[in-house]
């Protein structure tokens, strides 16, 4: 336990010094039979500093994202796609990351770095109000994904990182996979999730897997798909029963389906230095992508 607490302390002390300048860009997605295009890029943050982890609201009208504005802590901000205005959503003395819309439709969940550096899940009402703990007995959480109203997939702060399933009713967790990436995405069936681990033969080879791939109602490959090295962040969306994978690889966006009959690299180097997070709107028409910023704004 002392070793874990020391890790948390060192993590929070060095976090802000290590965070790059990042911007969030909004693009339009067009999917054809044999091609994908990303057009009309707009920088919705466009400032020096850290802006990251975008997620679209269920109705697609706004984006929540993590932002550091005072160099002391992170808060969740809201960007309205209609008015193009940004407002602050959380305002606490702690840092909040990874805003995620909860299945109840009334709250968002966040990973909160508490004053003693403990990282637990908290929820904030969408209509405003005080936050509350979701699970008081489960900490060391890095990232999370809702499977259903009673269970979550959690990427835990371990070395290497591990993926566990948490039961809200019992507050017990069970190890699911090891050596995983930070990115976990809900499956369209609302019963499972997508994740990546390094179970391939190559040391740095990421394998994309569906926790319920055998029961998928969508036309996907029966085998997990290999993604190129340096791929940590990805997202998926279904277009005409065909699931398209979007994955950032350095300055290019890889777009492919599970048969790889569609396989294209779209250069985005003019927007920034390197792609990290990728979010897709509920209707699949827009993408929010995080780019490490160029020196000039």
* Interval 149-176: pLDDT, tens: 999 999 999 888 999 999 999 999 999 9
CATH number at residue 99: 2.120.10.30
Task: Count Cβ atoms below 10 Å from residue 38 Cβ, excluding itself.
Answer: 20
pLDDT (tens digit, 9 = 90+) per residue, 250-262? 999 999 988 877 8
Q: Residue 297 falls within a domain, yes or no?
A: no
Q: Residue 86: inside a domain, yes or no?
A: yes
Total structural domains in the chain? 1
What tens digit of pLDDT does each residue of 40-56 get? 999 999 999 999 999 99
- Largest CA-CA distance found in the chain, in angstroms, rounded: 55
Residue 284 above 70 pLDDT?
Answer: yes
Let me know if residue 217 belongs to a domain. Answer: yes
Q: Model's pTM, two decimal places?
A: 0.89
Within a domain: 125: yes
Print the domain residue range for 58: 2-292
């Amino acid at each position: 336990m002392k070793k874990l607490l020391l890790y948390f302390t060192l993590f929070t002390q060095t976090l802000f010094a290590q965070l790059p300048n990042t911007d969030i860009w909004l693009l339009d997605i067009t999917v054809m039979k044999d091609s994908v295009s990303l057009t009309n890029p707009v920088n919705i943050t466009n400032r020096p500093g850290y802006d990251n982890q975008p997620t679209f609201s269920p109705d697609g009208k706004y984006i929540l994202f993590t932002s550091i504005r005072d160099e002391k802590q992170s808060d969740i901000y809201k960007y309205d796609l209609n008015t193009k205005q940004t407002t602050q959503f959380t305002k606490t003395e702690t840092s909040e990351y990874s805003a995620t819309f909860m299945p109840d439709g009334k709250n968002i969940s966040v990973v909160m770095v508490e004053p003693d550096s403990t990282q637990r899940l908290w929820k904030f009402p969408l209509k405003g109000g005080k936050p509350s703990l979701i699970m008081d007995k489960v900490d060391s959480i890095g990232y999370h994904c809702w499977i259903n109203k009673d269970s979550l997939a959690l990427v835990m702060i371990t070395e290497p990182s591990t993926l566990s399933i948490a039961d809200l009713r019992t507050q017990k967790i069970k190890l699911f996979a090891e050596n995983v990436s930070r990115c976990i995405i809900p499956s369209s069936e609302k019963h499972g999730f997508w994740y990546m681990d390094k179970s391939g033969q190559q040391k740095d080879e990421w394998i994309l897997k569906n926790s319920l791939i055998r029961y998928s109602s969508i036309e996907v490959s029966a085998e997990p798909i290999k993604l190129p090295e340096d791929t940590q962040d990805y997202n998926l969306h279904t277009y005409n029963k065909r699931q398209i994978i979007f994955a950032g690889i350095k300055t290019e966006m890889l777009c492919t389906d599970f048969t790889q009959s569609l396989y294209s690299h779209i250069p985005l180097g003019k927007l920034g230095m390197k792609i990290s997070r990728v979010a897709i709107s509920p209707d699949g028409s827009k993408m929010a992508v995080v780019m490490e910023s160029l020196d000039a704004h």
